[in-house]
Amino acid sequence: MLDMQKHPILHDVQAGREVVWINPKKRDAASGIAAAPVGIDDVLDAEARLARFAPLIAEAFPETKARDGLIESELMELSAMRERLGADSAGITGRLMLKMDSHLAIAGSVKARGGIYEVLKVTEQLALASGILTDTEDDYKKLLLDEARTFYGGKKMQVGSTGNLGMSIGIMSAALGYQAIVHMSADAKQWKKDLLRSRGVTVVEYSGDYGEAVKNGRVQSDLDPDSHFVDDENSRDLFLGYAVAAFRLKKQLDEQEITVDAAHPLFVYLPCGVGGAPGGVCFGLKLVFGDAAHCFFVEPTQAPCMLVGMESGLHSGISVQDIGLTGITEADGLAVGRPSGFIGGVMEPLLSGEMTVEDAKLYDYLRELHESEGIFIEPSACAAFQGVMSLQSSQLQAYIRANHLEGCMENATHIAWATGGSLVPEELRVSFLEKHL
């Protein structure tokens, strides 16, 4: 049971007000990482597996050729957006950057990291067990030949999704020949269902929310020995696929001669749904940058499941509906009522904090980014900018003092992690850009 008296912030959360929450259980990065059920070796293993698949990816998805089959996004400085947001007058110092996972190849969202990685991991296991690949040194492009496709045609890949995870799993597994089945919640957008069907993916629709779609998908998959279920709430493989982003980011920061260390802190703002994507990225960042990385999750005021789970300590044992919120938001990628228990546990000692954002502001950020920089990202991804703007809050100011960062915020780098948007159809972009709530 939840004792609301012990969690005063939850009164504001319950009332649907925006909040800034600092994680009281955060510890030093090394001990937080040591407490996790996965570590650096697992993330390196994931990176090596993606490298083995890179030649196949480059062949199957020509848009990845320029990066030799690596699915990676730009890190872009946002000078005009920084000005547009009034950072200087708000006392927000340091650079503002955009990590453009919104434009990742194949799936157009952060899910192109975790989702595609999990499909590839299963694919490799099956290929090695069946002899299609003799070993991990073999030519992975063999998997695109008819013989392999026929083999994968006898296997199913299933997932429950609000949209973007389904797109990443669906597109990748259909491309490899699997029977791909995506179980979608009521709030999943029609264009995503249409796009998946056009790629040969079976879309099963549910009238309920994301939790129901996942539950049904899992039950159906578990009944079938030839089916793999991508479990957004518990999957370590998804998590590891997301975590790889940190190695790539480190390289990009080095290339742009941006230092990250104790005197040059890195603040990262990640839109959060069930927690897998931001959790995996945050874990990778703590591995690479240690205590110099400060990670914040951002959630909608009506669906702050991770915040409620972490503040209450109940993790997946509580939903936003349990405290009277609707779980309904325009940010379809973040419309999740119950957080991943696995992620909540891993993040407990590592996450710096969370902030929530009203839906109306997502459209303001969307317009401001488009007008100032000419970049379009989807409403869910715009939540990242609420993180940046929260720097002026008394809670964040206290966090900066508590971490002895007052003297070095001039040297800070702030990264808004843009989690999706490049596949949004043109007519929807226009309506998003005109939308005022």
CA 114 to CA 161: how far, in whole Å? 13
CA 120 to CA 209: how far, in whole Å? 28
Neighbours of 231 (CB within 10 A): 21
Q: How far is the CB of 332 from ligand PLP (least distance, A)?
A: 8
Q: How far is the CB of 419 from ligand PLP (least distance, A)?
A: 3
Site size for ligand PLP (CB under 6 A): 21
Q: How far is the CB of 63 from ligand PLP (least distance, A)?
A: 19
CA distance readout (Å), 103 to 100, 112, 221? 6, 10, 31
Choose the stretch contacting ligand PLP; rule: CB under 6 A; options: 171-179, 213-221, 316-324, 376-384: 376-384
For strands 20-22 and 353-357, give the pairing: antiparallel
SS3 233: coil
CA 176 to CA 180: how far, in whole Å? 10
Choose the stretch contacting ligand PLP; rule: CB under 6 A; options: 53-61, 80-88, 91-99, 103-111: 103-111
How far does Cα 247 stand from its chain's mean position?
16
Q: Would you say 267 or 269 has its CB closer to ligand PLP? A: 269
Contact between 309 and ligand PLP per CB under 6 A: no
Q: Token pair 């379009």 is at which residue?
A: 376
Q: Would you say 71 or 165 has its CB closer to ligand PLP? A: 165
Structure tokens that stand for 25 in this block: 């259980």
Per-residue contact flags (x/-) with ligand PLP for residues 148 to 187, judged by CB under 6 A = ----------------xx----------------------
Q: Would you say 111 or 156 has its CB closer to ligand PLP? A: 111
CB 140 within 8 Å of CB 51: no
CA 109 to CA 106: how far, in whole Å? 9
Q: How far is the CB of 418 from ligand PLP (least distance, A)?
A: 8
Q: Would you say 58 or 343 has its CB closer to ligand PLP? A: 343
Q: Would you say 132 or 196 has its CB closer to ligand PLP? A: 196
CA 277 to CA 281: how far, in whole Å? 6
CB 270 within 8 Å of CB 295: yes
Q: How far is the CB of 423 from ligand PLP (least distance, A)?
A: 10
Choose the stretch contacting ligand PLP; rule: CB under 6 A; options: 52-60, 267-275, 286-294, 308-316: 267-275
Q: Which of 26, 111, 286, 361 binds ligand PLP (CB under 6 A)?
A: 111
Q: How far is the CB of 402 from ligand PLP (least distance, A)?
A: 26
SS3 185: coil
What residues between 332 and 371 interact with ligand PLP by CB under 6 A? 333-334, 336
Q: Would you say 177 or 387 has its CB closer to ligand PLP? A: 387
Q: Which of 155, 169, 420, 424 binds ligand PLP (CB under 6 A)?
A: 420
Contact between 193 and ligand PLP per CB under 6 A: no
CA 436 to CA 59: how far, in whole Å? 42
CA 217 to CA 220: how far, in whole Å? 5
CA 211 to CA 267: how far, in whole Å? 31
Q: Would you say 127 or 343 has its CB closer to ligand PLP? A: 343
CB 13 within 8 Å of CB 327: no
Neighbours of 235 (CB within 10 A): 22
Please report, in angstroms and rounded to a whole number, the separation of the first and last CA atoms in the chain: 35
Q: What is the DSSP letter of 135?
A: S
Q: Which of 64, 73, 109, 185 binds ligand PLP (CB under 6 A)?
A: 109
Neighbours of 248 (CB within 10 A): 19
CB 268 within 8 Å of CB 280: no
Q: How far is the CB of 134 from ligand PLP (least distance, A)?
A: 35
Per-residue contact flags (x/-) with ligand PLP for residues 216 to 255, judged by CB under 6 A = ----------------------------------------
Q: Which of 32, 211, 271, 353 binds ligand PLP (CB under 6 A)?
A: 271
How far does Cα 53 stand from its chain's mean position?
22
Q: How far is the CB of 262 from ligand PLP (least distance, A)?
A: 29
Phi/psi for 326 (5° steps) reads -85, -30
Q: Would you say 265 or 276 has its CB closer to ligand PLP? A: 276
Residue nearest to ligand PLP (CB): 273
Q: Token pair 């808004």 is at which residue?
A: 416
Q: How far is the CB of 378 from ligand PLP (least distance, A)?
A: 6
Q: How far is the CB of 279 from ligand PLP (least distance, A)?
A: 7
Contact between 275 and ligand PLP per CB under 6 A: yes
Question: Which residues contribute to the site for ligand PLP (CB under 6 A)?
Answer: 109-111, 164-165, 271-278, 333-334, 336, 378, 380-381, 419-420
